[in-house]
Every structure is written in C-alpha cells, then in structure tokens.
C-alpha cells in the first residue's frame, strides 16, 4: 500500500471523529443530564412529566417547576440557557438509572406516568458496530483497486502483461497520416485485408505471414505505421514496447510474453505490436564466457516458442519494429517467425513533400510557402525531423505575432533543425552528392546491361539509407540455389560498376567504394578457393567448411594445408577475376556515357529512382 491510501484512510477517520463530536455537542445541548439525586428531588416536587425507562437510561421532560427547581440560586447555568430557547421551556433530560426499588411507587404517588422500552436488541447493537466497519473496509478496497488500475498493477499483478489496447475508434491514426512510405503501406494493406476477412484468404489456401518486421532508421514512422494499422484494421491491437518485457524480477519477462499471447488468442482476430523489438531480440550471447543475460534470453526464448506455437489461421498477426535489425537474434528472422520484413526507409524528395503536407494540415500557411522547395532543402531528413520543422516554423511565426507561417519561418526552422542534426548525421556537400550519384548510377547501368544480373529495384542517394551514402537495390526475380560462374562474374562487374563510373567521370577514385570492393573480393576469393572456378588451379577446394559461428572467436585460425606457391597462385587468380570484372564494367559504362550522365542528373534531382523509371530512361534514345 502506498502513502496515498494511508492518507485517505486518515482523512476518513478524521471525518468520522468530527461527526461524533458534533453529534455529541448537540446532544449535550438538547438533553440535560441530571444526577440521580436531583432526579429523586424532582419527582418529589413534581418537576418532571412522563418518563421512559430504557435499559439503564431514564429519559423524559422537565416541567417549568422542574427547571425552576434545578436552576435556583444560579445552579445549572447551561440549563437556564437551554430552557430559554424556542420550544425548550420544558427541556428533555436524561439520567442514569440506579438501583431504586421504591421508584415506581413514588412515581405512582406523584401521578407521573412511566413507560419501559426494550433495550437495543443484539441486532441493532451488532449493526451499529458492523456498519461503520463495512464502510471502512469498502473505502479501503476502493482505494486499493484504484491504485491497482492506475499504476498498472501492484505487487499482485507482476507478470500480467501491460498490453494496452487500441481499438479502432481509439486510434485515430490512419494511413492518411503516414506519407512517403507507399510500399510499406501496400504490404500492410494486405495484412489488414486478411485480418478483416480471414476466410477469403484461407479458402484459396493462401498463407499469411506470421510476423511482420518494420525495419528502418529512427524517426521514419515505424511506430506511427503500427498504430495506423490498428486504426485501419479495426481489430484489437495489443501494443507493447520491447523494454516492457525487461523487468528486474526473474521470470517476469517470460510470463509477460505468455500472458500477451494468451490475451491475443482470446481477442483474435487481432494484432500484436511489439515496438523496439531489439530490446528483447538482441542476439543471444555468442560467447559462453560473457553470458549473463539469462533473463533476457528466457524472455526471447519464450517469445520464439510462442511464435512457433501460433497458428495464423486464428487471425493473430505479430508486428514488430526495430531500427537495429542487425543485432536481432537470427532465430527471430527465420522463416515462420518475422519472415516478412518491411523496409521503412528515409523518404526521398517526393516523400518528404508528402510528409510535409501531412504535417502542415493543422498549420496556417502564408501564400509564399512552397513545400517542394522545403523538401528539396532537407535531404536525408526523416518524418520526425520534418514534423519538427513544421512545428518549429509555426512557433517562430507565432513568436513574431504573424497570422500565418511564411517561407522565411520555414527557412529559419530548417536551419535550426539542421544544426541539431549535423552532429548526428552526415550531410553531404554538393560535390559528394554528385560523386555518389554517378557511383550508384554506375552500379545500376551495369546491372541493367548484363542479362544475368538481377534487375534494379531502386537507386537512392539519400545519405544513410541502408548503406552508408547511397544504394542500388537489386531484387532477384526468383529464388536461387545455384549460381554459375558467369553469373558470379556478372555480379562482380555490378559491384565494381560504382568505382568504374567514378573513375570514368572524375578520373579519380573515392572512398565510397570500400564496401563494394570488400564484397567483390570476397566473392572472387570464394570462386577460387571454394567453388573451384579458376581454370589454372582447377576444381580444387582450398578451404574447409566454415567453423561454427559461436566458436569462431575462441579458436585460432587453422593452418593452411597448401603450399606457399599455391597461395600465391590463389592470390593471382583472385585479383585477375576482380580486375577483369572491373574492366568489363568500365567498358559498359564508357559505351553508355550519355545515359550515365542523364540518369545521374535525374538521380541528383530526385534522390530516389525506381527501377521502372530507370528502365524508361534507358529505353528512350
């Protein structure tokens, strides 16, 4: 019990006490208590009217004579006062009864009538005790309940999940409030449809993903999307944050997970949304030496087993969001768990404009405000930053007592927010941006020129998207289990296309290709050492199976089981594969110099280029 309740009980007791005192005071005022000797004298002088005897108390009314008798010589001054009050000329009195055998005879002789009344029954006296007690207990229970509800459960309810329920009309967020993430919305739409009409999908034998993981940098609207799904689907929405599971009590996290899924099963169809999954989903410790996070591991294991035991046909979908997918336990991302990942990436120019449009809905804008210009000035910013800019601009306008936010206010707001972000994010200067644009275009053009390479899905030069500065996303058209030598060579050429474009346009390399080179070298090395694809070395494997991951840190590198001369030959073969691929990429790009320029300019302008748009530019001659 906390301080608050105890206080309330004291208040209650004080209240009762005040009532008692007041009541007592009035009784004293209204009933005059006399002594038994006075009573006997009063009987003799006929100073009382009819009396009632009830238990040990005799009560009745005085006569005027009686009052006079009692107040003579200035005795009983309070009775004098009382008798002067309105209707109190013959005030009532009480007296405690004494053993007095001849009382009745004396009353008879004076002609005073008397009645006896039964003493309080045991029931009334019991009630007079019980009622206040029950009242007290009632008040106490009320407060306990209230505290329980407010603080999310006292000691008794540890382990009960703190799931909050957002139902349709509670969450007013809809997809209209989330802009610039059409792709994610499209995928989520499918899930909403399933929840609203599970029968339709099952009839066709369709399989709905069990878990959906929203992945993206902070502030891009993942939590917002989660809430919007609830608003759109109109099904119960059990939402928790990963850290809700992390408790100081052993076993509580696991119990919460169990409870959450039990609740979800009752409410199906429904959505479970676990925000910031990384708080529980961190990879279980690889090294047995560090260990120590058993509690979190228990929680994670419970989550994994609940997800496995779940049947999507019941209509429960588990959604989750994280901005650190790389630290998630691999078991979580395995098929059958969070097998569908939806990328919520930084918005491009058009996306930023749309997000701004969402946020200026509640703001009075001056004529000169151009959202497109604002979007153009804020590359790399996410939804949260843009919401911040709009808010900041509105505040600035209000401070200047303007009736509407003008472009100047937005410019100032951008500068303020930028200054805060510059420390956190890279902000590219125009020259860097140009290099990145050509680099990414290089990848994309090589990929589109090679028949076996996967088609380009999207090219982006928004800083800190998936990669460091920009990225070219290729999506395979089919699942692959085997790759031929020429396909691997094509892949090498695509990876080196970025560097090749830089060399071609700027006659100079930059550090931007670091990751590409690393991956290309890795592929080339595997081709030679593992797949036996080098013509000079022949079909010989120079590497055993990789050691199990969790032992990697603990074991010394194994000794080479081939000669020094072979090692040199391997190195030569690896580098010749890479260099050949690089030359091919350069050839391709040199032949398409004009297209390269055109696409790079377009990319600089739009920041994001979808695969179809890219192919349209390639096809127009």
Closest of 483, 485, 481, 480 to residue 533, by C-alpha: 485
Q: CA dist 94 to 19, 31, 61, Å? A: 22, 7, 8
Residue 273 beta carbon to Mg ion: minimum distance, rounded to whole angstroms: 11
Could you tell me which of 256, 196, 279, 259 has the C-alpha nearest to residue 230?
196
Structural element, H or E, at residue 32: strand 32-33
Nearest CA-CA partner of 209 in 225, 186, 226, 190 = 190
Nearer to Mg ion, 464 or 598 (CB): 464
Question: Count of alpha carbons within 13 Å of 533, Cβ hemisphere only?
Answer: 18
Closer by beta carbon to ligand ADP, 88 or else 179: 179
Provide DSSP, 277-316. THHHHBPPPSSTTT---HHHHHHHHHHHHHHHT--GGG-E
- Give yes or no: 440 in active site: yes
User: What is the footprint of ligand ADP within residues 163-182 (CB under 6 A)?
Assistant: 178-181
**Residue in 358, 396, 436, 603 binding ligand ADP, rule: CB under 6 A:** 358
Residue 516 interacting entry, from ligand ADP, Mg ion, Zn ion, none, C-beta within 5 to 8 Å by type = Zn ion
Contact call for residue 220 and ligand ADP (CB under 6 A): yes
CA–CA gap between residue 241 and residue 338 (Å, rounded): 16
Q: In the bound complex, what is the minimum distance in angstroms from residue 286's beta carbon to ligand ADP?
A: 28
DSSP string, 156-182: GGTTS--PEEE-TTT----GGG--S-H
Termini Cα distance of the chain: 79
In the window 296-355, what residues touch ligand ADP (CB under 6 A)?
A: 321, 355
Number of residues that bind ligand ADP (CB under 6 A): 17
Taking CB positions, which residue lies at the least distance from ligand ADP? 383
Kindly determine how many residues on this chain lie close enough to bind Zn ion according to the rule CB under 5 A: 2
Conformational region of residue 76, where left means phi above 0, alpha means psi within -120 to 50, and beta covers everything else: left
* Token reading at 47: 């100073």
Contact map string, positions 493 to 512, toward Zn ion, x by CB under 5 A: -----x--------------
Helix spans in 509-610 (H): 514-529, 564-591, 593-606
Calpha distance 394→352 (Å, rounded): 18
Question: How far is the C-alpha of 409 from the C-alpha of 423, rounded, in Å?
Answer: 23
CB of 275 or CB of 516, closer to Zn ion: 516
Interaction between residue 224 and ligand ADP (CB under 6 A) = yes
Residues 109-148 that bind Mg ion (CB under 5 A): none
Question: Which range, of 75-83, 222-230, 367-375, 576-584, touches Mg ion by CB under 5 A?
Answer: 222-230
The residue sitting closest to Zn ion, measured at its beta carbon, is: 498
Q: Which stretch binds ligand ADP (CB under 6 A): 29-37, 222-230, 394-402, 405-413?
A: 222-230
By a kind-dependent CB cut-off of 5 to 8 A, residue 241 interacts, out of Mg ion, ligand ADP, Zn ion, none, with none
Which CB sits closer to Mg ion, 58 or 277? 277
Among 223, 299, 441, 460, binds Mg ion (CB under 5 A): 223
If one counts every other C-beta atom within 10 angstroms of the C-beta of residue 258, the result is 16
**Residue 191 interacts with, from Mg ion, Zn ion, ligand ADP, none (CB under 5-8 Å by kind):** none
**CA proximity to 273, closest of 337, 340, 341, 227:** 227
Residue choice 223, 299, 312, 320 for contact with ligand ADP (CB under 6 A): 223
Please report how close the Cβ of residue 155 comes to Zn ion at its closest, in angstroms: 56
3-state DSSP call for residue 473? strand
Is 91 a residue that touches Zn ion (CB under 5 A)? no
**CB closer to Zn ion, 216 vs 498:** 498
**Span from 216-224, 289-297, 423-431, 581-589 in contact with Mg ion (CB under 5 A):** 216-224
Distance of CA 52 to the CA centre of its chain: 73
Assigned token pair, 69: 């008798």
Answer for which of 325, 383, 465, 470 binds ligand ADP (CB under 6 A) is 383
Q: Based on the shown chain and the rule CB under 6 A, indicate whether residue 363 belongs to the binding site for ligand ADP.
A: no
476 binds, among ligand ADP, Zn ion, Mg ion, none (CB under 5 to 8 A by kind): none
Nearest distance from C-beta of residue 495 to Zn ion, angstroms: 7
Which residues inside 22-61 make contact with ligand ADP, applying CB under 6 A?
none
Work out the angle between the directed axes of helices 564-591 and 514-529 (0-180°, nearest 10).
Answer: 130
- Give the nearest residue (CB) to Mg ion: 223
Which residues pair with residue 32 across a beta bridge? 93
Residues in the chain: 621
Q: Kindly name the residue from 295, 440, 502, 573 that is annotated as catalytic.
A: 440
Distance from C-alpha of 167 to C-alpha of 269, rounded to nearest angstrom: 12
The CA radius of gyration of the chain, in Å to the nearest whole number, is: 43
**Among 306, 392, 516, 573, interactor with Zn ion by CB under 5 A:** 516
Please give the angle made by the CA atoms of 589, 592 and 596, to the nearest 5 degrees: 80
Asked if residue 466 binds ligand ADP (CB under 6 A), the reply is no
CB of 310 to ligand ADP, least distance (A): 24
Residues carrying an active site annotation: 440
Give residues in contact with ligand ADP (CB under 6 A).
Answer: 178-181, 218-224, 321, 355, 358, 383-384, 387
Give residues in contact with Mg ion (CB under 5 A).
Answer: 223
Give residues in contact with Zn ion (CB under 5 A).
Answer: 498, 516
């Amino acid at each position: 019990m906390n301080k608050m309740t105890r206080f309330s009980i004291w208040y209650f007791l004080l209240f009762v006490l005040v009532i008692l005192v007041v009541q007592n005071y009035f009784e004293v005022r209204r009933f005059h208590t006399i002594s038994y000797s006075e009573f006997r004298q009063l009987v003799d002088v006929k100073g009382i009217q009819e009396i009632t005897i009830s238990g040990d108390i005799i009560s009745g009314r005085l006569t005027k004579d009686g009052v006079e008798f009692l107040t003579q010589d200035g005795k009983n001054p309070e009775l004098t006062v009382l008798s002067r009050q309105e209707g109190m000329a013959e005030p009532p009195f009480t007296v405690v009864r004494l053993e007095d055998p001849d009382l009745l005879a004396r009353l008879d002789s004076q002609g005073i009538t008397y009645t006896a009344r039964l003493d309080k029954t045991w029931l009334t006296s019991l009630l007079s005790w019980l009622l206040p007690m029950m009242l007290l207990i009632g008040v106490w229970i009320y407060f306990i309940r209230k505290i329980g509800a407010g603080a999310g459960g006292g000691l008794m309810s540890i382990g009960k999940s703190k799931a909050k329920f957002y139902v349709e009309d509670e969450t007013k967020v809809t997809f209209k409030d989330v802009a610039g993430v059409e792709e994610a919305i499209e995928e989520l739409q499918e899930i909403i449809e399933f929840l609203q009409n599970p029968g339709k999908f099952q009839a066709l034998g369709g399989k709905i993903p069990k878990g959906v993981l929203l992945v993206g940098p902070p502030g891009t609207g993942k939590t917002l999307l989660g809430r919007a799904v609830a608003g759109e689907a109109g099904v119960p929405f059990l939402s928790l944050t990963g850290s809700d599971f992390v408790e100081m009590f052993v076993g509580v996290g696991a119990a919460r997970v169990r409870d959450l899924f039990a609740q979800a099963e009752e409410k199906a169809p429904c959505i479970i949304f676990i925000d910031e999954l990384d708080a529980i989903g961190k990879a279980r410790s690889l090294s047995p030496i560090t260990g120590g996070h058993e509690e979190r591991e228990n929680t994670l294991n419970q989550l994994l087993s609940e997800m496995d035991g779940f049947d999507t046909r019941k209509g429960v979908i588990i959604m989750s969001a994280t901005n650190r997918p790389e630290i998630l336990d691999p078991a979580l991302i395995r098929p059958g768990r969070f097998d569908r990942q939806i990328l919520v990436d930084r918005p491009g120019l058009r996306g930023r404009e749309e997000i701004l449009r969402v946020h200026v809905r509640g703001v009075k804008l001056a004529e000169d405000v151009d959202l497109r210009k604002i979007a153009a000035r804020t590359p790399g910013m996410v939804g949260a930053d843009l919401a911040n800019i709009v808010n900041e601009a509105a505040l600035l306008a209000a401070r200047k007592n303007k009736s509407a936010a003008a472009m100047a206010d937005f410019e100032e707001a951008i500068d303020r927010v930028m200054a805060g972000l510059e420390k956190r994010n890279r902000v590219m200067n125009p020259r860097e941006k140009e290099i990145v644009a050509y680099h990414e275009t290089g990848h994309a053009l090589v990929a589109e020129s090679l028949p076996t390479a996967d088609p380009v899905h999207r090219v982006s030069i928004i800083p800190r998207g998936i990669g460091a500065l920009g990225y070219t996303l290729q999506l395979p058209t089919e699942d692959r289990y085997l790759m031929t030598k020429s396909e691997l060579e094509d892949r090498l050429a695509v990876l080196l296309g970025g560097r090749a474009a830089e060399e071609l346009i700027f006659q100079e390399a930059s550090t931007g290709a670091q990751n590409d080179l690393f991956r290309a070298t890795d592929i080339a090395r595997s081709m030679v050492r593992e797949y036996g694809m080098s013509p000079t070395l022949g079909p010989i494997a120079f590497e055993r199976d990789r050691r199990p991951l969790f032992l990697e840190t603990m074991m010394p590198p194994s000794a080479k089981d081939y000669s020094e001369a072979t090692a040199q030959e391997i190195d030569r073969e690896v580098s010749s594969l890479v260099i050949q691929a690089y030359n091919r990429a350069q050839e391709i790009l040199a032949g398409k110099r004009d297209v390269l320029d055109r696409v790079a300019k377009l990319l600089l302008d739009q920041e994001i280029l979808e695969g179809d748009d890219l192919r349209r530019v390639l096809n127009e001659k």
